[in-house]
Amino acid sequence: GENVEQHPSTLSVQEGDSAVIKCTYSDSASNYFPWYKQELGKRPQLIIDIRSNVGEKKDQRIAVTLNKTAKHFSLHITETQPEDSAVYFCAAYLIRNDMRFGAGTRLTVKP
Amino acid sequence: EAEVAQSPRYKITEKSQAVAFWCDPISGHATLYWYRQILGQGPELLVQFQDESVVDDSQLPKDRFSAERLKGVDSTLKIQPAELGDSAMYLCASSLGLAAGETQYFGPGTRLLVL
């Protein structure tokens, strides 16, 4: 089955700096890679996703890159703000909407 | 905006007792998922429904866990008997269907504490 590794587990940045979170997956057949943001006590919410036929996708301050050959994908947040502080989860979709999640990265943005 | 509803939000029970969680997906969503999220980890899929049928329950501990979605709408997840290791957040999610890239929308979760 699919296995998703996520790094780092915690990340602390100064407001305005960039943050990068990386994930690797094991099954080359995986074809969809969403990122979820989970604020304390709240539900996970989709923030951006990428399909295997695309190498990069950007939405304002958030971007995701995918390297299919190396089987890794990354989340990039630029000009970080305190409200970006949350736990971020990557996931890899294999078949029948069977998604495997990474362990999460706790991002803290210091004002 | 429509959201996935779950109840109760919090549940405290003693080990060996039975507990049940309820989920109401977004209207029109055919696919429903139950996940377990242990503190500090990502969600792990327990069971997946397409309408009223189970698509995948390979990770569901069937000796104590059961799930149903009788009319293909809302769903119930039951644990009997509960064990200390079942303490976790139980998340329900729904999506339009099983196609690749169908966004899964999560409910607020039920936080279970087994004493």
Per-residue pLDDT of A27-75, as tens digits, reads: 888 889 999 999 988 899 999 999 888 899 999 999 999 999 999 999 9
The pLDDT, as a whole number, for residue B1 is: 76
> Which residue among A4, A99, A102 sits closest to B104, beta carbon to beta carbon?
A99
The pLDDT, as a whole number, for residue A96 is: 62
> Which residue among B42, B91, B108 sits closest to A103, beta carbon to beta carbon?
B42
- What residue has token string 């970006």? A84
Establish, for the pair of chains A and B, how many residue pairs have beta carbons separated by less than 8 Å.
Answer: 61
pLDDT tens digits, one per residue of B41-78 = 899 999 999 999 999 898 899 999 999 998 989 999 99
The pLDDT, as a whole number, for residue A91 is: 94
DSSP-derived 3-state class of residue B112: strand
- pLDDT averaged over chain A? 93
Structure tokens at B77: 């997840």
The pLDDT, as a whole number, for residue A52 is: 84
The pLDDT, as a whole number, for residue A3 is: 84
Residue B75 identity (one-letter amino acid): S
Q: B48 vs A42: CB contact, 8 Å cut-off?
A: no
The pLDDT, as a whole number, for residue B101 is: 74
Distances (CA, A) of A63 to A9, A19, A26, B93: 19, 11, 22, 24
Query: Which residue does chain A place closest to B111, by CA atoms?
Result: A41
The pLDDT, as a whole number, for residue A92 is: 92
Q: Which are the contacts of A73, defined by CB distance < 8 A and separation ≥ 6?
A: A22, A23, A25, A33, A50, A64, A65, A66, A67, A90
What is d(CA A82, CA A15) in angstroms, rounded to the nearest whole number? 7
pLDDT tens digits, one per residue of B72-113 = 899 999 999 999 999 999 999 999 987 767 889 999 999 999
Output Rg (C-alpha) for chain A, integer angstroms: 13
What is d(CA B85, CA B28) in angstroms, rounded to the nearest whole number? 34
What is d(CA A14, CA A35) in angstroms, rounded to the nearest whole number? 22
What is d(CA B16, CA B61) in angstroms, rounded to the nearest whole number? 15
SS (H, E, C) A73-86: EEEEECCCCHHHCE
- The answer to whether B91 and A44 have CB atoms below 8 angstroms apart is yes
Task: State the average pLDDT over residues A74-103.
Answer: 91
Distances (CA, A) of B99 to A37, B30, B60, B71: 22, 11, 22, 22
**Cβ–Cβ contacts within 10 Å for residue A102, how many?**
25
- The answer to whether A21 and A75 have CB atoms below 8 angstroms apart is yes
Task: State the average pLDDT over residues B9-21.
Answer: 96
Q: Which are the contacts of A92, defined by CB distance < 8 A and separation ≥ 6?
A: A2, A4, A23, A25, A27, A30, A32, A33, A99, A100
What is d(CA B107, CA A46) in angstroms, rounded to the nearest whole number? 12
Length of chain B: 115
> Which residue among B55, B97, B106 sits closest to A44, beta carbon to beta carbon?
B106
